[in-house]
Amino acid sequence: MNTPMLILIAGPYASGTGGDPALMARNLERLEQAAWPVFAAGHVPMIGEWVALPVLRSAGASGPTDPLAADVMYPTAARLLAHCDAVLRLPGESKGADQDVAIARERGIPVYFALEEIPGHVAAA
């Protein structure tokens, strides 16, 4: 087993939702569905919203559509990428996820576009 990587799971969260909380929740659930396969491959999954949303709440913001979100959501992912070893980019339009990929590439961090590309991935039985 290689050293476990901290892998940022990036994909649509607010994109295409028009600020609809139910659609954003569905997108977060989709991101979270990749967490178990990343973990099962021997790594630590990370999703930026897991950090950014509590930061927003503690700052008194009303949620991800609050004006303060612009100062928290993307910057959180950028800060996380200083600690991540790889990015898993899930399909779908997302300015934030595209930024995550660009930052990862600038820093020489591997970017995977499918779970099967992640070292240690085991296909579901």
pLDDT at 59: 95
Burial of 9 by CB count in 10 Å (0-12 exposed, 13-18 middle, 19+ buried)?
buried
Name which residue leads in pLDDT, 123 or 118: 118
Q: Are the CB atoms for 112 and 88 separated by under 8 Å? A: yes
What is d(CA 57, CA 49) in angstroms, rounded to the nearest whole number? 12
pLDDT tens digit sequence for 1-53: 579 999 999 999 999 999 999 999 999 999 999 999 999 999 999 999 999 99
pLDDT at 39: 97
Burial of 6 by CB count in 10 Å (0-12 exposed, 13-18 middle, 19+ buried)?
middle
pLDDT at 122: 80
Tokens 């977060």 — which residue? 28
Other C-beta atoms closer than 10 Å to the C-beta of 68 total 15
Side-chain half-sphere of 91: how many Cα atoms within 13 Å? 2
Full-prediction pTM beyond 0.75? yes
pLDDT at 23: 96
Q: List domains and CATH numbers for the chain.
A: 6-112 (3.40.50.10400)
pLDDT tens digit sequence for 82-99: 999 999 999 999 999 999
Q: Are the CB atoms for 94 and 88 separated by under 8 Å? A: no
